[in-house]
Amino acid sequence: MSALPEFNRKSASASLIRMSMPILVGQLAQMGISTGNVILAGHSSTVDLAAVSLGASLWVPLLVLMNGILMGLTPVIAQLFGARRFADMADPVQQNCWIALCCGIIAAVLIYLVAPSLLALMSVPDDVQQAATRYLEVMAFGMPGLAFYFALRSWSDGLNHTKPGLWISLLGLAASIAVGVLLVPGIAGLPRLGAVGCGLASAVSMWVSALCMWRYVAKAKVYRPVEVWKNGLQPPRLSSIMALLKVGLPIGVAVFSEVTMFSVIALLISVYGTITIAAHELALNITGVLFMVPMSLGIALTIRVGTRLGEQQPRTARKEAWNGMLLAVLGALINALIIWFFARQILAIYTSNADVMALALNLLHLTMIFQLSDSLQAGLAGALRGYKDTRAVMLITLTAYWPIGIGSGIVLGYGVGDAFEGFGIYGFWTGFIISLTSAAIMLAMRLHRVARRHAPPSWLLKETPAPHSYPQTKL
């Protein structure tokens, strides 16, 4: 068999960027669905706005957890794709669909049954609580569809085919906007549904995304070699499901821990008043949009590294991973420049309150410090997931976000008795810097170790093995 081509940094960088761009646009489109609902609810009434905002704070963490679990299929398919083992893909794809069905139903039941009790514990006004409950009850019907979409998208991404996620996310966004514009204010003789209309718009967009993705993978030529449904629908197999969960569950827990860290910090800073809360939320929202760049790069790195390992090119996989870190640094620089030059103009879109804008501007300037570590930790985690080393990523991120991040934030924010008064909101944001930097350092050490284990330096080997001489990667 002829040797595979040598690693070319320029070509690898261009391929990684091309792969990550559709992921980036798709992620932004998904964010646009919730943002569009907030905008429509805000124009409807303050009660609807509060209801949709509170409801989103309860179901979005579940979405993130579910997406992470189902993303475990991506490195599995990427390694099989690199090895050209198309016949072996059918089982993990089908089993991931069973996992998606379970995740979607569990998420819907939790939202439907548990969310009202959580809203009651928040001591929000009765009218807001009732509107939020109705919003969540309607939106919950879309969760199984969204889970199915995530499962199929993870399969497509593993095949190095990321563009469908872009176009189908845009279709989902368009469906959400169309339904929301009609039903939230109630036009063309339709009833005014308010927050319930936002929930229905979200549910419809989720099922539109799922059905469009299903139709695409059933018809497009790129998926035909896999022949997922050649032997019909197979029943759930515990061994395959456990193998997928071994990869996917740590991904879900890792991203869930990051989301919940920011949620906990939002609760801890509530003692500082409405101006601080508003500035904190605005700065986090803008930072979250910018984070889509390194997050998309990390997903692309999972695909690239996994594919190279499937091709039995562990040295190229290591080069792909570290080359991705150079692009992560470039992405961090771009994000920092956007904040430096355009932060005030961006904030003006959100608010006209001078006090909120001034504090949010200071917080955004702090984010320039952790752009590098945030981009690196996202890229490093993505590369490690390409190695299917997801458990270590979970443990590292849990440690960095909770004991280190929240712990240092509490100490620096609240202070230590009479010995140290604390820096208030700035202390908690300094905790973000500490947590993300700690995560980046630990993940870099882990990637160095894992990459060396898969591909030791050539001087340790008597001879360089030929391509495809390594054991086949198995699920």
Q: Which domain holds residue 177?
A: 18-236
Segment 206-216 mean pLDDT: 96
Segment 177-191 mean pLDDT: 86
5 assigned to some structural domain:
no
* Distance from the Cα of residue 400 to its chain's centroid: 18
Confidence tier at 464 by pLDDT (50, 70, 90): very low
- Residue 75: name the closest of 225, 398, 300, 252 by CA: 300
Per-residue model confidence (pLDDT) at position 143: 96
The answer for 3, left when phi > 0, alpha when psi is -120 to 50, beta otherwise, is beta
Final residue of a structural domain among 236, 271, 304: 236
pLDDT digits (tens, 9 = 90+) for 246-297: 999 999 999 999 888 887 888 788 788 888 888 888 888 889 889 999 999 9
Confidence tier at 458 by pLDDT (50, 70, 90): low
> Are 53 and 162 members of one domain?
yes
Q: Give the count of beta carbons closer than 10 Å to the beta carbon of residue 448.
A: 14
188: Cα within 13 Å, side-chain hemisphere: 7
Distances (CA, A) of 337 to 296, 334, 452: 19, 5, 35
Range of lowest pLDDT (47-56, 291-300, 360-369, 393-402): 47-56
> Are 166 and 22 members of one domain?
yes
User: If you average pLDDT over every residue of the chain, what do you get?
Assistant: 89
pLDDT digits (tens, 9 = 90+) for 398-418: 999 999 999 999 999 999 877
pLDDT digits (tens, 9 = 90+) for 304-350: 999 999 999 999 999 999 999 999 999 999 999 999 999 999 988 87
d(CA 28, CA 244): 27
d(CA 425, CA 415): 11
Q: Point out which residues pair with 416 in neighbouring strands.
A: 420
> Are 169 and 311 members of one domain?
no
Share of the chain above pLDDT 70, in %: 95
Confidence tier at 3 by pLDDT (50, 70, 90): low
pLDDT digits (tens, 9 = 90+) for 28-46: 998 888 888 888 888 888 8
Count structural domains, the chain.
2
> Are 273 and 309 members of one domain?
yes
Q: Would you say the pTM of this structure is higher than 0.75? A: yes
Per-residue model confidence (pLDDT) at position 4: 52
